[in-house]
Structure 1
Amino acid sequence: MTERVGAPDGDFIAMLVEYLPGQRWFSAKGQSLGPDAFRILNRTIIARDFHDADVEQVLLEVATATGRHLYQLWVGWTWHVPDRVAHAVIGAADGRTAYDALADINVTGLLLTSVVHGHDFGPGVRAISEADVAVDTDAFGLVIGAEQSNTSIVYGHSSILKVFRRLDPGPNPDAEVHRALYAVGSRHVAQLYGEIVGPVRDGSGDTETTFALLTEFFANSADGWAMATASVRDLMSEGDLRADEVGGDFAAEAYRLGEAVAAVHAELVRAFGTAVAAGAELTAILDGMRAEAEQAADLVPSLAALRQPIRAAFDRAGDHAASLNLQRIHGDLHLGQVLRTLDGWKIIDFEGEPSKPLAFRRGLHSPLKDIAGMLRSFDYAARGQTINPRTDAQHRYRATEWAARNRRSFCDGYALAAGSDPRHADSMLRAFELDKAIYEVVYEHGHRPLWEDIPLQAVVALTNPGGTA
């Protein structure tokens, strides 16, 4: 008989049916899922009678309308629920209560020391420590933010543990890229301290999979989105000054950010190599964009009205591009994925798009995709301040001015560091930016209708050969 802690699988699944739809990282919200949709794949005992709780790691498969999805839970089982975890209760059975163990500072402390010392939890679940790790293991671990697909725990001012809630069998790109970039001496990423890994069964057997990643934490940093939107507000408050005359002008930072992104792209080439897409492969990349655009137009009326101009824009890209350089990239780059520290810009979260399959996220793509994502983010930072319908024409002009200035500065910085200007790829860069803007329209249409006009304006501009987003 397999050793376990807590309630039997059936009773535990009954709790999860009620609990999981309320979690931000659960992707099947709004779907009516019964117990038959849930299957527990594995339960690994992490600790027994640890501060009056038994702790386990649980791997759970959920069958949804979009396919089967794998989740990771860390669960504590206790007879008496302490106040510190009362907000994280999952359910109860046979007198014992299950709770999210990542909300328990005792458990988060256990995870930190386990990674730092390379502890083997068995069977197959183990922590890996990197060489020369200097981490404060006495720091309390506190969950931060409300991430969409992970749970991150910050330990004082020294380290952060990202626990991947949604899993794909295999190494997570965030761990893979951090290790590679730190090995080549990158100044723009966090130091890797260690991982928690273990087996996940897929079609070919057990595959070692990244469960959690411990890295350096950048205390006293500011994220790019907060800095950019503060700069826009500064400009908006000065009705008679240009962007370059306002104290909060962001252009110099945008320039340095462009340099940092170019440096990381070059380091990714050193670490993972490069390839060239031409002929049928280049056509396939554009065909993928076309197919997603057609699906988007079927869903959103405002895009349906632009179907022909969108097709023409992708056709122009195909007509003007003979080949495309491919490499490992960030994959989901925007102002929220960069931090300004005392010694420059740092780039975080190399997972890629969580909605994409792992093989896609670990594949080679055009660096123009990252550049386009950042250009779209500058546009959002500016125009997000003008969604109020009462915003006057002067403030709308200021937003447009800010976006253009900072997009230009970012590309200038990138061009200097890379030795080539991404704007020279004109129609292909526009295609990647158009692809991103179409995705944004679909998202806003379903989640924030008042914001839909922001990316829609970009779609209109990008489908006009002479327009700019």
Structure 2
Amino acid sequence: MSEAAARPATPSEGRPDRPELLLSLEPLLREWLPRQRWFAGKGRPISELTLDAVTELRPRSSLLHLLIRAHQPPADEGPGDCYQLLIGVSDALAPHLAPAAIGHITRGPLAGRTAYEALLDPRQTAVLLERLRTPGTLGALRFQLAPSASVPGGLTPRPLAAEQSNSSVVYGDSLIVKVFRRVLPGTNPDLELPLALAREGCDRVPAPVAWYETADGETTLGLLQPYLAGAADGWDLALDHLTKQQEFADEARELGRATAEVHTALARALPTVTHTRAQTEQLAATMTRRLETTAQQVPALLPYVPALRTAFEALADLATEGSTWQAQRIHGDLHLGQCLRDPSGFWRLIDFEGEPSRPLAERRMPHPPHRDIAGMLRSFDYAARTHRPWNPAWSEACRAAYCVGYAEVSGRDPRTDPVLLRAYETNKAIYEALYEARHRPDWLPVPLAALARLAAA
């Protein structure tokens, strides 16, 4: 690493002129941003792009880190959504980087060069790893190492091809960096919770090795963690069992145990609260509003609204009668795809970011563990529905085994709170219906089938 990378930067170092740079990149980014999987404002035109920060990670602006804000109607008067970009700039783009191209720059200080997605270029992602190896500040960025951690150099980078709400790069077979795309002020729970679990000695979650943030420390931008080489994704593993007509109940039971271990450790590491009557009634009201709002956007949901509303009314009724529940920090978006089984058969949980579309403050709020449990129960149903013919018995066996495994560690079977569990499962299926309607219409029948079942209950 160069001396400049290892020491704090001077005020002008690492910071190209914002207006001139925006002049070069804005026309290209207006077209490119809406096509990205992680862009949150799909279907609305970009009225303006503004730069919050720019840092030069390599000389001659050949690697730029941008925090760029997209302003879109109808809320143009608001701050807009802030996105993190790593942009490579080249005189001539190599043929293997053609899929990464953003466009040819025709104006401003970078005119005549080509901009491209740097996270698809191993040379550029190697620079990011070098920055993470040494703590310090460069321009608008600050890089940090976990206590007693070290990052080896010279690891070969490769981007993960799977589309997701963030971008990840694997280094060798030992480390993986996640670059958060839509960024919000505050500590991202995907950093906060694994750090807390590491302090508790919980080995169900890979401990952070390094991370980077804005120079003021207010916004988490990226996270470096161990890469679990050879681990099987829980979703793929479940589908493989279905294809082979094999039961998955034993794995589901172990997943329940893993989930309970993580919940127990989080309850030790971070404050817990008791949901009072007012809080539970507010939760039920929020769920009801989500139902009614989603039904307006997903008309296929409308016939089920009256029956589904009773799930939330029953929860409010219990609160009125004096029922309370313990709330704590949880995963926030738990499903089979967030679970990895290593070659020894040990399950780990990953991706503690929560639902990326929700405000960060909401994702950091404590909830009853039933919210995570409901997410996993929905995931078993999703897996079963992808198989033809549909095998409801497979899903029910997994759901029951998962709850049994959870009870073996926590001492409490989540099914002993049927009203709370039904409310959370209904709320999750409503969220799924909106997501599928927007992004994967062919999948919409999966949550609709679950909502029909929950309505009948």
**Same fold by TM-score greater than 0.5:** yes
1:372 maps to: 374
Report the counterpart of residue 57 of structure 1 in structure 2. 65
Query: SS in structure 1 opposite 2:219?
Result: strand
User: 1:120 is paired with a residue of what secondary structure?
Assistant: strand
Q: Hey, what does 1:251 align to over in structure 2?
A: 249
Residues 47, 445 of structure 1: alpha-carbon distance in 2 compared, 3 angstrom cutoff: closer
Would you say 1:337 and 2:329 are equivalent positions? no
| Aligned ranges 1:212-361 → 2 under 5 Å | 212-235=222-245, 248-321=246-319, 322-343=323-344, 344-361=346-363
Task: Return the offset for 1:147.
Answer: 3.3
SS at match of 1:25: coil
CA contact (8 A) 1:136 1:158 kept: no
Cα gap change, 1:85 to 1:5, in 2 (>3 Å) = farther
Contact 2:45-2:72 at 8 Å conserved across structures: no
Post-superposition CA distance 1:101-157 (Å, at most 9, x none): 222212211211221222432x34121112333544211111102333211000111
Cα offset, 1:66, TM superposition: 6.7
Corresponding position of 2:157:
141
1:419 aligned residue: 411
Q: What residue number does 2:126 align with?
A: 109
Structure 2 residue matching 1:62: 3-state secondary structure: strand
Quote the Cα distance in structure 2 between the aligned partners of 1:153 and 1:338. Answer: 18
Tell me which residue corresponds to 1:71: 83
Q: How many angstroms apart in 1 are the aligned matches of 2:349 and 2:262?
A: 8
Q: CA deviation at 1:193?
A: 0.7
| Count, aligned residues | 431
| CA offsets 1:397-441 (integer angstroms, 9 cap, x no match) | xx1010000000000000111111100011110010011112222
248-257 vs 451-460, which deviates more?
451-460
- Match of 2:189, as an amino acid? P
Q: Secondary structure at the match of 1:30?
A: coil
**Counterpart of 2:28?**
15
1:430 has 2:422 as partner: yes
User: Percent identity of the aligned residues?
Assistant: 39
Please list the CA deviations of residues 44-94 of structure 1 after superposition, one character each: whole Å capped at 9, or x if unmatched.
Answer: 122215xxx622211101112475100011122222323343322222232
CA distance in 1, matches of 2:71, 2:17: 25
Q: Distance in 2 between matches of 1:358 and 1:163?
A: 16
Q: Distance in 2 between matches of 1:217 and 1:23?
A: 25
Q: 2:45, 2:73 within 8 Å by CA — same for their partners in 1?
A: no
Alpha-carbon distance between aligned partners in 1 of 2:443 and 2:57, rounded to the nearest angstrom: 45
Q: Which runs of 5+ in 2 are unaligned?
A: 1-10
TM-score (norm 1): 0.87
Name the structure 2 match of 1:245. none
Taking the aligned partners of 2:164 and 2:235, their CA distance within structure 1 comes to: 17
Q: Does 1:41 align with 2:52?
A: yes
Task: Tell me how far apart the structure 2 counterparts of residues 56 and 272 of structure 1 sit (CA, whole Å).
Answer: 37
Letter in 2 for 1:431: A
More moved, 302-311 vs 401-410: 302-311
2:157 and 2:446 mapped to 1: Cα distance? 38
Distance 1:80 1:460, change over 3 A: closer
RMSD of equivalent CA atoms? 2.0
Whole-Å separation in 2 of the counterparts to 1:453 and 1:79: 48
| SS of aligned partner of 1:385 | coil
